[in-house]
Amino acid sequence: MKAKDSSWPRVVKNGSAVVRIYKTSSRGYPLFQVSDFSQGSRRLRSFADEGEALTEAARIARPIANGQTTAAAMRNPDAASFGRAMEILRPTGDSIELAASRYAEVVKLLGAGDRLIESVKYFLANDPGNLPDRDVASVVEEFTEHRKARGKSDRYVKDLESRLGRFRDTFRVKLASVRGSELQAFLDGLKGSQQTIKNYHAVLGTLFSFAKARGYIRHNPIDDTERVSPSTDGAVEIYTPKELGKLLSPATRCARPPL
């Protein structure tokens, strides 16, 4: 950095950056004015001491030479903070304006900036993009074949194929993207008795448990649905002694005492 010491205005250089200092007077006292173009228009910064003017000119010239004209207009604490922010952002390739814009948007969504790191960690842990690319159809097929290989009965396998086939046709998506609220809507839309819905609930729970054990999902969404119990709305009947006698008459003598 060089300062021309001949006549006024003095010139402070840093690379291609040039800052001029003019000498005037005010009320009979010398006044040194630093010409600052770092914000795109000329501003004169006045100093009573020539040394202070030279120091300020050097401070302005340094970030201008580095392409950091905004920092040149800042006082020491703000300039230091700005410079540190730029260093932190440098590996990302993002501008400080873009980073600030994204942060402000996140605060609007979360309500507070201190929840940002926690929210990102949760997202990364639950993001389907970080899980195997398995859609519903492929996992249903794998699960059904697995049950066949384990020697399950034909009746059981056909029941799986029927119930899971309907689920597969409804959810043509990645298995990891299925949410509990979506499963609840699927169950609510089924027609049939409470027992039928309970059976669907049980089969889906088994399917997602199978998928979780193999790392296809991290959470079983069936846990976020209502538990289904068989209907108990039917009338309760009480047998008379005579009716009980007829009911138990076919039982053998050896079976009657326990009954």
Q: What is the pLDDT of residues 179-188, one digit of tens each?
A: 999 999 999 9
- Cα distance between residue 181 and residue 100, in whole Å: 35
Average pLDDT over the chain, rounded to whole? Answer: 83
Task: Tell me the mean pLDDT in the region 135-147.
Answer: 96
- What distance in Å separates the CA atoms of residue 258 and residue 246, rounded to the nearest whole number? 17
The CA distance from 90 to 115, in Å, is 23
Q: Give burial (CB, 10 Å; 0-12/13-18/19+) of 132.
A: middle
pLDDT for position 147 = 96
pTM: 0.47
CA dihedral 98, 99, 102, 103 (to 10 degrees): -150
CATH number of 136-224: 1.10.150.130
The predicted pLDDT at position 171 comes to 96
> DSSP state, 235?
P
Query: Average pLDDT, stretch 21-49?
Result: 86
Place 198 in a pLDDT band, splitting at 50, 70 and 90: very high
Q: Where are the domains of the chain?
A: 8-74, 94-126, 136-224
The pLDDT of residue 41 is 67
Burial string for 200-229 (b: 16+ CB within 10 Å, else e) reads: bbebbbbbbebbbeeebbeebbbeebeebe
Picking from 70, 61, 69, the residue whose alpha carbon sits closest to that of residue 35 is: 61
